[in-house]
Amino acid sequence: MSASEHVFRAVETPLFWLGAVTAAWLSVCSVYRLLAGIKVWVLGNGRLVSPAKLGKWAESKYGVETKTITADFSSVNIYSQIEDALAGLEIGVLVNNVGISYSYPEFFLSVPNLDTFIDTLVNVNITSVCQMTRLVLPQMAERKKGAILNISSASGMYPVPLLTVYSASKAFVDFFSRGLQAEYKSKGIIIQSVLPFFVATKLSKIRRATLDTPSPERYVAAELNTVGLQAQTNGYLPHALMGWASTALLPASILSRHVMGVTLSQRARYLKKQKQG
Taking alpha carbons only, the member of 115, 27, 112, 123 closest to residue 75 is 123
Cβ contact 74:120 at 8 Å: yes
Specify the pTM.
0.84
Residue 61 Cα to chain centre, angstroms: 22
Q: Would you call 55 exposed, middle or buried from its count of C-beta atoms within 10 A (0-12, 13-18, 19+)? A: buried
Residue 78 Cα to chain centre, angstroms: 25
Q: Which pLDDT score is estimated for 39?
A: 77
State the catalytic residue, choosing from 79, 102, 166, 219: 166
pLDDT in tens, 109-166: 999 999 999 999 999 999 999 999 999 999 999 999 999 999 999 999 999 999 999 9
Q: Is 158 a catalytic residue?
A: no
**Would you give the DSSP letter of residue 110?**
G
Q: In the predicted model, is pLDDT for residue 1 greater than 70?
A: no
Scored b (16 or more CB within 10 A) or e, 253-264 reads eebeeebeeebe
Q: In the predicted model, is pLDDT for residue 57 greater than 70?
A: no
pLDDT in tens, 7-19: 566 666 777 677 7
Report, in this order, helix, strand and coil percent for the chain, each rounded to 5: 60, 10, 35
